[in-house]
Structure 1
Amino acid sequence: MSWGRFETLYANAAKRVATRVGGTPVSVSRSTYMRWIASESTPEGLAQQVLEELFGIGFELLMGPAPDREIELPSVLNVTSRAAAMLVDSRWATSMLHPTTPVAGVDGSWYLDGMDLLDPTSVAVQMYEATDHSDDDVVAIGPADYPHVRQFVRPTRRALLLASVKERRNGGDEGSLYVLDSAHARRLLAPERPVELLPIPSAYRLDDLTFAVVHGLVAADNALGADDRLLDAEEQGLEQHLQKERSVYAREAVPGLSQGGAAWLGSRFCSRHALRWLTKSAAPSALWSRAQIGEEVLPLLLFRQQHQFIDEFRKLAAGADEQPGMVLCVPEDVVAASPLYERIMFFLALAWLEMRGLVTWVCNEPEYARFDEFVLVPGEQAVVGTWMRAKDHIWSADVAVRKAQVREYDLAVLHARTHSVTQGGSSHARLRAAVEYLGLEQIWGTLPQRCAELGAYGTVDMLQSRSRLIALDEVDHALRYVGGLGSA
């Protein structure tokens, strides 16, 4: 600290001490200050109190030796790596990446913004330069960075490694980034497992597909992890609400809940409510979802309880006269406004539903977007349960049995079946129609291959869920299913 800065701060602290203890503020000369910092003399009397006031810590601690810690500095990134980091934010508007500079004890951060369903979040991140090992289908961080990598991955927190490689495979000179979860790096670099290189599969290259998965998983997982105690307590009380055909739960009833946590709780209640109140006399044939963008289909792909609900629905629908399916209303203006990575995530959800044996119908008339979510037993019953974009409610549920009510739901599903923009006699045909409607034709030449690559390795090492409420297995299944479409 410069003498001029210190003199001003010291004088202000001295006035506060004098006011508190009485007396005249003590001053300090420049020569005394220089002797203090050179350890040639020690402050005494009121000077000790002034320094305590100035720095906010006890005098003995202030004058004691600095903690002895070994800090490893990260390597300085080259121009290509820094440019690759800057391109991340220009490519994805919901990203703010700040890879760390070589400062002792300072990590970088990756801020990820939500669009509707997800809360903004951030994750610790560190970038390292890596070499391309095409023959082994990996890129690798070398031993020179291991001391800092070990230091970075040691804390038990969510963190990501970004490996920067100067891309040469296609003759270009654009840098590429590859993602690895710190937990996996920690296992690979464990003392009992000496390695010559820290490998990252080439399938973990950061592009629209992997960004969709990273963005969705990190935001959802962080939200549910932060809300775990609240969600556990709220789930214990669901039974009293499930006793009623009609139930509305206000958002203000759980003020500390995140948007992601509210989505989990609302979807959990609505799925249980549907299974509780569905008639036993006939089989359901259709689900109606309000999901319109990739962020809103994440619960289908990530939430364990949604996987269980789809399984239960399929069992109940096994006796239906028509092949069961799900309706999603996605107007053209929503598609046009959705970033590419969001449309890819939406397509993965459609593929997952088709893989699970459910037909997907996509209608595009905006007036159908007003419908609540429901499970339909044709001509007999619609169990309504809305949690997505429910405004001031975590959920709103009801059971419709009057003929006029049920007829409205029957007609909506009939319209979706007959006017779907993803018409086709097979899953492959419907998904190819979805590719066209979602504007994915420009990347369809490479998307199945990228999905196959990522699905083959699995997302578990690229990202690891911390929340007990999330499972990545179904994402991997959907990736492999889409990967098979390229050769179909």
Structure 2
Amino acid sequence: MGQQPKVLMPEQSPQHRLGYVIRELRSARGLSMRDLAARTFVSHAKVQRWENGARPPKDRAEAELIDRALDAGGAIVELWQEIERGVSGPSHVSDAAPHVSDTALDLATALSQAAASDGEGIFIPRRLDDGTVVLVALDRRALLRAGAGIGAAAVAGLPTPAAAVISAADDPFGFAKRATENWSGLRLSRPFPDFGVDWQALLPGGRSTLGSQLSLQVHPARIEGSRVIASIPDQRRAEEFLARPNRSLVVGAVNTEDVSRFYALDGRAARGKLAKNGGVYEVATPTAYELDDLTYGILWAVSNYDDALQADDQALAEARSDLKAYERLSASAVSREAAPGLNTVAHMWLGSDFCARHILRALPDLPTLPAFWTREQRGEEASAWLFFDHKYPYLRETTKALGGTSTRAFCVPEYVVRSSPRYERILMFLAVALMESLGIHAQFTADPAYETVEGFVVAPDKEAVIANWVRGDGMWHVDLTARSSVVREFTIAARDVDADSLTAAPTAAGRLRALAQYLDLPWSWLIQRCGQLAQYGSSGLIQSRSRLVSAAGIDAACTYVASLPADH
């Protein structure tokens, strides 16, 4: 929550006050108009009309949808109700400085809104004694701690925001401004004292991931061929920064034609690369590591998976051993309570690992060539194919066991595409590209009716393997069945998608290009950037700490995409 509370001028019309609030909250959240349009399932033009006051939300339901999309804590609904009542507010502006009542905000209400929000903070609307509307910015985590008596002062009167607005002097390269504008949910702060850290970054979590953090140093840099050379004026400060075991990045800032571009290098990779050049220490990184939606997506996914799995490493190994007995059963549905205390990513890994081994055991006994169905819809889920250590080997083993090509169906409705940030859509694309590289023909449906279908492998009309860990009630559900009703349901689903796939094409390049178009990703850019990254590999960009996270999948996917024709 790095924004000051926003004050609305009382002489504005209610429609313009509401538009102002929507615009300011959208900006505070780091969202573009198109991002907000995707979250509220409307057109970009409609968001423009909301913000310029030309047309307010059509009804309360639409106002509530905007409110939830912006984590506005009821502010949008309250102002919409003001429009409905025809209230325009005071007709003058007092010269006297307005003040907020000393009465504390309703802590129960604020806590309720904080618990329901999945953002970093919430906004509570309050009216000053002259009628001016103020949005009070509150830190969500501080509010939740307030229930235990910590930070309760934050809800009394008008609080100091959780973080001050970053000034140009604090952000000389424009890195913080650019990064937070590009990636909603990313939080950057300047620690004091800094102990060698320029920026502390909090990467957002997702529906199952928990978020992560890393430290950054940003230095001026220049481009020489395919390398970016960052100049490091203070070697001792850099060495102190790089010596720590926590995840870190060295970022080189290159200013060309008044546009800054940023290039990252994993702290571990940078340790051995400090070199003296004419009295100035430098470190080099490939231009392929430019920070954009591709590299940010990789950083986001690896950091979220890696930190969570490393945190539960010993307990996860013990849980996997304890649950090994389920392998003797042909069917099991195991709840998360079977591995208590593990975080959600550890549960994801256990479920994915168990389902992969369940399918590999069953494949040799299937009577005919099977069709696969998977439930991944978003980059957060699909990243498991790229980064979980067992997933890429599992794909290779299934291809070997089947002795040729196979099909794998996905259900990704349009609303999922619209609500997914670009970096997640790129991760989804790369996961499918990894499958296509192994001869697995990916098929897609946008029909939401198929969202509830479990993950399966079906020998049409004969036998089915159920193996589901994505968006399930427990860690996994597996089964082997020849029950006609179940087999028939899976057979029909697989045949329906095969007959009317969104990505139908005779070649892998054709299917992937159709997928890129559906996900609204530029085809030639994907090939170019994947080619650049494939040349160097991803390990210099980000190195995993957990033994359960591997870069083999992402590197193989990028290499394959780079081999596709750009003008297909």
Task: Judge same fold: TM > 0.5, yes or no.
Answer: yes
1:189 aligns with 2:274: yes
Matches of 1:284 and 1:268 in 2, distance apart? 23
1:94 aligns with 2:185: yes
Matches of 1:416 and 1:223 in 2, distance apart? 35
What residue is the counterpart of 1:139 in the other structure? 228
Within-5 A mapping of 1:7-406: 81-100=172-191, 103-104=194-195, 108-127=199-218, 129-134=219-224, 136-166=225-255, 168=256, 171=257, 173-189=258-274, 197-278=282-363, 280=365, 282-318=367-403, 323-391=405-473, 393-406=474-487
User: Does structure 2 conserve the Cα–Cα contact (< 8 Å) formed by 1:387 and 1:395?
Assistant: yes
Q: Could you say what the CA RMSD is over the residues aligned between the two structures, in angstroms?
A: 2.2
**Is the alpha carbon distance of 1:195 and 1:419 closer, same or farther for their aligned partners in structure 2, counting shifts above 3 Å?**
farther
Q: Relative to structure 2, which stretch is displaced further, 242-251 or 412-421? A: 242-251
User: Does structure 2 conserve the Cα–Cα contact (< 8 Å) formed by 1:130 and 1:142?
Assistant: yes
Q: Match for 2:210: what amino acid?
A: D
1:465 aligns with 2:544: yes
Matches of 1:279 and 1:400 in 2, distance apart? 15
How many Å apart are 1:452 and its aligned residue?
A: 0.6
**Is the alpha carbon distance of 1:301 and 1:103 closer, same or farther for their aligned partners in structure 2, counting shifts above 3 Å?**
closer
**Is the alpha carbon distance of 1:355 and 1:99 closer, same or farther for their aligned partners in structure 2, counting shifts above 3 Å?**
farther
Matches of 2:368 and 2:511 in 1, distance apart? 24
Matches of 2:338 and 2:275 in 1, distance apart? 46
How many Å apart are 1:105 and its aligned residue?
A: 5.7
TM-score calculated relative to the size of structure 2:
0.67
Q: Match for 2:502: what amino acid?
A: V
**Is the alpha carbon distance of 1:163 and 1:81 closer, same or farther for their aligned partners in structure 2, counting shifts above 3 Å?**
farther
User: Does structure 2 conserve the Cα–Cα contact (< 8 Å) formed by 1:85 and 1:99?
Assistant: no
Summarize deviations over 1:318-342 as a string: whole Å, max 9, x none.
Answer: 27xxx41211100011111111111
User: Does structure 1 conserve the Cα–Cα contact (< 8 Å) formed by 2:413 and 2:447?
Assistant: yes
* Secondary structure, counterpart of 1:466 in structure 2: coil
What residue is the counterpart of 2:519 in the other structure? 438
How many Å apart are 1:84 and its aligned residue?
A: 2.5
**Is the alpha carbon distance of 1:477 and 1:227 closer, same or farther for their aligned partners in structure 2, counting shifts above 3 Å?**
same
Q: Relative to structure 2, which stretch is displaced further, 362-371 or 230-239? A: 230-239
User: Does structure 2 conserve the Cα–Cα contact (< 8 Å) formed by 1:287 and 1:326?
Assistant: yes
What residue is the counterpart of 1:447 in the other structure? 526
Q: Match for 2:286: what amino acid?
A: P
Matches of 1:238 and 1:286 in 2, distance apart? 28
* Secondary structure, counterpart of 1:237 in structure 2: helix
Matches of 1:131 and 1:269 in 2, distance apart? 46
Matches of 1:265 and 1:456 in 2, distance apart? 32
What residue is the counterpart of 2:495 in the other structure? 414
Matches of 1:178 and 1:102 in 2, distance apart? 25
How many Å apart are 1:158 and its aligned residue?
A: 1.7
Matches of 1:375 and 1:238 in 2, distance apart? 23
Matches of 2:266 and 2:206 in 1, distance apart? 24
How many Å apart are 1:118 and its aligned residue?
A: 1.6
Q: Match for 2:284: what amino acid?
A: P
Q: Match for 1:375: what amino acid?
A: V
How many Å apart are 1:188 and its aligned residue?
A: 1.5
**Is the alpha carbon distance of 1:241 and 1:284 closer, same or farther for their aligned partners in structure 2, counting shifts above 3 Å?**
farther
What residue is the counterpart of 2:108 in the other structure? none
* Secondary structure, counterpart of 1:131 in structure 2: strand
**Is the alpha carbon distance of 1:85 and 1:107 closer, same or farther for their aligned partners in structure 2, counting shifts above 3 Å?**
closer
Q: Match for 2:499: what amino acid?
A: T
- % identical aligned pairs: 33
User: Does structure 2 conserve the Cα–Cα contact (< 8 Å) formed by 1:452 and 1:482?
Assistant: yes
**Is the alpha carbon distance of 1:284 and 1:99 closer, same or farther for their aligned partners in structure 2, counting shifts above 3 Å?**
farther
Matches of 2:264 and 2:396 in 1, distance apart? 32
Matches of 1:236 and 1:277 in 2, distance apart? 21
User: Does structure 1 conserve the Cα–Cα contact (< 8 Å) formed by 2:297 and 2:426?
Assistant: yes
**Unmatched 5+ stretches in structure 1:** 1-75
Greater relative CO (CA pairs within 8 A, separation 6+) = 1
How many Å apart are 1:312 and its aligned residue?
A: 2.1
Choose from 488, 491, 507 the match for 1:426. 507
How many Å apart are 1:454 and its aligned residue?
A: 1.1
**Is the alpha carbon distance of 1:486 and 1:94 closer, same or farther for their aligned partners in structure 2, counting shifts above 3 Å?**
farther
Summarize deviations over 1:31-71 as a string: whole Å, max 9, x none.
Answer: xxxxxxxxxxxxxxxxxxxxxxxxxxxxxxxxxxxxxxxxx
TM-score calculated relative to the size of structure 1:
0.77
Matches of 2:531 and 2:299 in 1, distance apart? 17
User: Does structure 1 conserve the Cα–Cα contact (< 8 Å) formed by 2:464 and 2:480?
Assistant: yes
**Is the alpha carbon distance of 1:417 and 1:343 closer, same or farther for their aligned partners in structure 2, counting shifts above 3 Å?**
same
User: Does structure 2 conserve the Cα–Cα contact (< 8 Å) formed by 1:100 and 1:126?
Assistant: no
How many Å apart are 1:379 and its aligned residue?
A: 2.2
What residue is the counterpart of 1:62 in the other structure? none
* Secondary structure, counterpart of 1:177 in structure 2: strand
* Secondary structure, counterpart of 1:480 in structure 2: helix
User: Does structure 2 conserve the Cα–Cα contact (< 8 Å) formed by 1:373 and 1:384?
Assistant: yes
Matches of 2:280 and 2:326 in 1, distance apart? 55
Matches of 1:146 and 1:421 in 2, distance apart? 54
* Secondary structure, counterpart of 2:264 in structure 1: strand
Asked which structure has the greater CA Rg, the reply is 1
What residue is the counterpart of 2:106 in the other structure? none
Q: Match for 2:520: what amino acid?
A: G
* Secondary structure, counterpart of 1:217 in structure 2: helix
Matches of 2:389 and 2:423 in 1, distance apart? 23
User: Does structure 2 conserve the Cα–Cα contact (< 8 Å) formed by 1:283 and 1:316?
Assistant: no
